[in-house]
């Protein structure tokens, strides 16, 4: 499997698992389980986003060195979207920590 395709599969599967945890948190009746599921979903989303951002950085620089500028720009845009996913997940984690654990 090509490494870029492998990264796409890792990202899709990770975000599906994170969304399933978020759905479990929203639809569950136990509040302790809901908070833990949201924390796990946020951590997983942040880790997946940071991993894919770093992979985008590596593959984007490799493509730029090979003078494949169009592919490098597309990889950079994808990496930018992944860092936004990570930022939203980290912001959600901070909000959960402030509301439920430090309050």
- The ranges assigned to domains in the chain are 3-101
Model pLDDT, residue 103 = 63
Which tokens sit at 36? 């833990």
Express each pLDDT in 8-66 by its tens digit. Answer: 899 899 989 999 998 998 888 888 888 888 889 989 989 998 998 999 889 889 888 99
Strand, coil or helix: 66: coil
What distances in angstroms separate CA 17 from CA 1, 2, 7, 14, 100, one per listed residue?
Answer: 22, 23, 15, 5, 23
2: left (phi over 0), alpha (psi -120 to 50) or beta: beta
pTM: 0.81
Dist. CA 82–CA 102, nearest whole Å: 28
């Amino acid at each position: 499997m090509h490494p870029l395709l492998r990264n796409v599969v890792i990202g899709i599967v990770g975000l599906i698992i994170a969304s399933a945890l978020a759905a479990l948190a929203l639809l569950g009746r136990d509040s302790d389980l809901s908070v833990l599921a949201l924390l796990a979903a946020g951590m997983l989303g942040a880790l997946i986003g940071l991993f894919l951002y770093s992979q985008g950085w590596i593959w984007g620089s490799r493509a730029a060195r090979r003078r494949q500028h169009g592919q490098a720009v597309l990889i950079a845009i994808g990496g930018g979207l992944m860092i936004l996913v990570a930022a939203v997940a980290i912001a959600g984690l901070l909000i959960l920590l402030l509301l439920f654990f430090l309050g």
